[in-house]
Amino acid sequence: MTFILPIRQNIASLESYSSARSILKGDQWTFLDANEGAFPGSPNLSGLPPLNRYPDPTSDALRDAIAGFYSVRRENLCIASGSDEIIDLCTRAFVRPGRGVVAMKPSYGMYAVSARINDVPFTTVELQEDFRLDPDAVLRASEGADVIFLCSPNNPTGLTIDRPVIEKILQGFTGVVVMDEAYGEFSDAAGVPSSIELVRSGVPNLLVMRTFSKAFGAAAIRVGYGIASPSIIDVLLRMKPPYNVNALSQSAALSLWNDRASMERRVQDILSERGRLMSAFERRGCRVFPTTANFFLTQFPPTVSSDEIYASLRDQYKIVLRKRSDLGQLKNVLRVTVGNPKENDFLLSSLSSLL
């Protein structure tokens, strides 16, 4: 008998998300491509639980710490294996048969991947030329959708979504709006209000995601969290795997959370380095775009090819930036993650030799 792999058609044709470390990996590189925190978090792991026991399935110590900071209840929190798990849970839980998902474009690629995995129609709304979001366009696109994914600050543009735009979408949409604030600590430092305030005020159809991968400098532990009404969180907790966040990650995340002052100092250092980098790129003839995150977009002069710059930095100097080919009419652009001062100096000196 011949074995034929039984696989769903949408999975057979699936293109996986092209993560930064799936493209290049190893210790020989200067990675300025994945928007990771420039400075590694340093959690205190002296109080680890015994490793022969399963971890707390709902990460209650971490939920309580985060809930206390944001003045919400434990029932408003779900801890997950990175924001990606919450994206997948929301797609599986809240999109009914025949309904779809809407997201802004360009934005984070996992919204589309999750929709394709779950065989859910995926619709995008193009950002305007200034990278702003048109709420009316979102609402028109969402007539057949149950979930809208928004990202603020948005990856890759770095811009936040204005509060009136968010409120108009929430008021005009009957499904779940997922606000991805992976870079929220950086916009917090700029005085931009978080959508967590809307959850706290009682908005029932909003879920806000944040992560330990960026400002906390802990991408390796894979911890994210969602804040929403108890009715939304209850569904996510019932659907998630029973031990989705391991004990090591829970302990590390709690230690990092309890030392928020260190995180906030690192954020200020990154923002200072961001300003220095952006000014240096401008002096070298590049256009830089406004941002409230730990990265920025830069457009090279017409006489310079961004593809050639990317390849030369990679091949000659082992510096990795991020290509972006989904920016509509905007061409010749790379995305730059702000590194630590040594990495940034190396990038600037290498770039000077190429321009």
At 230, which amino acid appears?
A: P
The span from the CA of 267 to the CA of 190, in Å, is 10
Question: From CA 94, how far away is CA 112, in angstroms rounded?
Answer: 15
Kindly tell me the sign of the dihedral angle through the C-alpha atoms of 33, 34, 35, 38: negative
What is the DSSP secondary-structure string of 250-269? Answer: HHHHHHHHTTHHHHHHHHHH
Would you kindly state where each structural domain of the chain is located, as residue ranges? 9-39+261-354, 60-259
3-state class of 99 per DSSP? Answer: coil
Domain 60-259, classified CATH 3.40.640.10, yes or no: yes
Per residue in 230-247, pLDDT (tens digit) is 999 999 999 999 999 999
Residue 322 predicted with pLDDT over 80: yes
Whole-angstrom distance, CA of residue 185 vs CA of residue 81: 19
Can the peptide bond before residue 106 be classed as cis, meaning omega within 30 degrees of 0?
A: yes
The model's pLDDT over 161-177, given as tens digits with 9 standing for 90+, comes to 999 999 999 999 999 99
Identify the pLDDT of residue 326.
65
Task: Tell me: pLDDT of 346 over 90.
Answer: yes
Could you read off the pLDDT of 189-238 as tens digits, one per residue?
A: 999 999 999 999 999 999 999 999 999 999 999 999 999 999 999 999 99
For residue 276, give the nearest of 266, 288, 265 by alpha carbon. Answer: 288
Are the C-beta atoms of 221 and 249 separated by less than 8 Å?
Answer: yes
Report the pLDDT value the prediction gives residue 88, as an integer from 0 to 100. Answer: 97
CATH architecture of the domain with range 9-39+261-354 = Alpha-Beta Complex (3.90)
Distance CA 48, CA 60 (A): 15
Calculate mean pLDDT across residues 114-131: 95
pLDDT tens digits, 16-75: 777 777 778 888 999 999 999 999 999 988 888 889 999 999 999 999 999 999 999 999
Mean per-residue pLDDT of the chain = 95
Greatest Cα-to-Cα distance within the chain, rounded to the nearest angstrom: 68
pLDDT value at residue 321? 96
pLDDT of residue 20: 73
d(C-alpha 278, C-alpha 338), whole Å: 9
Q: Is it the case that residue 260 has pLDDT exceeding 90?
A: yes
**Residue 336 dihedral angles phi and psi, to the nearest 5°:** -115, 120
Handedness of CA 216, 200, 137, 11 (dihedral sign): positive
Report pLDDT digits (tens) over 70-109: 999 999 999 999 999 999 999 999 999 999 999 999 999 9
Q: What pTM was estimated for this model as a whole?
A: 0.94
